[in-house]
Amino acid sequence: MASLSWFDNLISSVLSRENVVAVVVFLIVTCLVRCYLTRRSFVNIPPGPRPWPVVGNFGGFFVPLAVRRRLGLQAADNVDTNIAQFLWEQTPLYGNVFSLFLGSQLIVVLNGYEAVRDALSNHPEVFSDRPDIPIISIMTKRKGIVFAPFGPLWKKQRKFCHTKLRKFGLGKLSLEPCILQGLATVKTELLQQNKNGGSAGVDLAPLISNAVSNVICSLVLGQRFDHGDHEFRTLLELMDRGLEICMSRPALLINIFPLLYHFPFGVFKELRQVERDITAFLKRIIASHRETLDAENPRDLVDMYLVEILDQKAAGEADSGFTEDYLFYVIGDLFIAGTDTTANSVLWILLYMVLYPEIQDKVQAEIDSVVGTQRVPSLTDKGSLPFTEATIMEVQRMTVVVPLAIPHMASETKEFKGYTIPKGTLVFPNLWSVHRDPAVWENPDTFNPARFLDKEGKLLRKECFIPFGIGRRVCMGEQLAKMELFLMVTNLLQAYKFRLPEGKPRPTLNGRFGLTLAPCPFTVCMTPRR
């Protein structure tokens, strides 16, 4: 563990356990006054439940489950698994557009396809900004691609990254060998684990995460990491843990009382250590690229960004926004976004395959009839595997790995659906609700890949299917993710029959809610198919 910084030491001495109570009381009183004054200023906002003092409507989230049950608050139990589902379940009470408070911060939740599409597609100039959420801002400094405010600098950075990544194959068939290389390693490792007693079940998560992450690492960092690389494996685990902490109860408290981030114990201390370790890893890579940079032959996105910094300085545009500091946050965003969401999507698909073996059989039969057993599936096979594609899409619909998207913010006061959305309001587009909306999906809670096929068995594209978001903040890596999902799923299902270990309980489909919705840990047994 790295030693605490001088500031952490200061906080540690000031916030000794004897002084914590006094500090908390002061913060509560301050928040009570601020909440009272803030809420009085809101007029004609969407309806919603009455907020608790200080913590707002997330008060029940901080009350232990056993206490909530004793108080008869069973409806809030869903918060322990999927907040997005819980918010969707409130629409009969408050409608598809309703208000919540996190402390004194107003949040407007958009439920259902029509409300989400209207806000993000028809009014992108208002609803494309990012809020200043304390826990996110502390760690990202509001820089990068994912969490940076909407504006000229963000547009410039996103356009640069998207353009340069395409030169290295983003969204193109030329990237297929890179993805297949990682898959070959996965299949080799799975075969070995299967020989070494696979009847007990294999945890697929580390292998899938490594393979997915190596694709973005090849594009951004110009290198791959071996599955046995301890530092890289630790980094992926830290990333997963950091995302989990960021959506935990303590993290929500940081958003109400930012000073809690510096508390010298518990998950607050752990979160700071996670941040330090990830920072050290990425900054070592930037330093290595700087020392070996050949401006005429850039190897990856980091090199191209460093070249851009030099070009901007040579042109006398030192304040252009292209700096090594900003590069660090860009890499962090791409690394996390390019790993966590796709890896979880692959794991969800494989989990559904073991829970619905008849669908797995049907997908494998289609792969066998189109691809055969003499070669591995390719992106060129995609159009000939409609049921396989429909199955992937249906799992994405059922799970939605980023169920609340990334929070948006109203950049100006806006009249929307008859209500006033004040400037600075957090806006949660509930993508979970979009994909469970009975207004656009028949029997939305039923797993049915056929809903994405027409009567002739051809793939149906539906505008209400938006797992990657919609509007100007749509996921930049959508095409890459689709390529990875198709190649990984088809290659693994061509090679193996997946099933549950004998005697083990059936895995839950509730998932673990962090910044993304990940499946709960599960193991599978595999039988080679060829």
CATH number for position 200 = 1.10.630.10
Q: Is residue 197 part of a domain?
A: yes
- pLDDT above 90 covers a percentage of the chain that reads 57
8 A C-beta contact, residue 441 and residue 452: no
DSSP states along 353-416:
HHH-HHHHHHHHHHHHHHT-SSS---GGGGGG-HHHHHHHHHHHHHH-SSTT-S-EE-SS-EEE
Answer whether residue 476 shows pLDDT above 70.
yes
- Give me the pLDDT at residue 10, please: 47
- Given a cut of 50, whether residue 167 has pLDDT beyond it is yes
Amino acid at 405: A
Range(s) of the domain holding residue 288: 152-344+404-441
Local confidence band at 466 (pLDDT 50, 70, 90 cut-offs): very high
pLDDT > 60? residue 61: no
pLDDT at 76: 39
Residues 6+ apart with CB under 8 A from 25: none
Mean pLDDT, residues 108-123 taken together: 97
Q: For a pLDDT cut of 70, what percent of the chain falls above it? A: 87
Residue 511 domain-assigned (yes or no): no
Confidence of residue 335 (pLDDT cuts 50, 70, 90): confident
- Asked whether residue 275 is domain-assigned, the answer is yes
Domain contains 370: no
372 falls within a domain: no
How many domains does the chain divide into?
1
Is 456 part of any domain?
Answer: no
Region 431-435: what's the mean pLDDT?
Answer: 97
| Nearest of 389, 386, 401 to residue 515 by alpha carbon | 401
DSSP 445: T
What is the torsion angle, in degrees rounded to the nearest 10, for the CA atoms of residue 166, residue 168, residue 173 and residue 174?
Answer: 160
pLDDT of residue 290: 95
122 located within any domain: no
What are the tens digits of pLDDT across the range 209-241? 999 999 999 999 888 888 778 888 888 888 888
The larger pLDDT score, comparing residue 181 to residue 72, is at: 181
In a domain, 80, yes or no: no
Distance spanning both ends of the chain, measured CA to CA: 47
Q: State residue 142's pLDDT score.
A: 93
Q: Quick one: pLDDT band at residue 503, thresholds 50, 70, 90?
A: confident
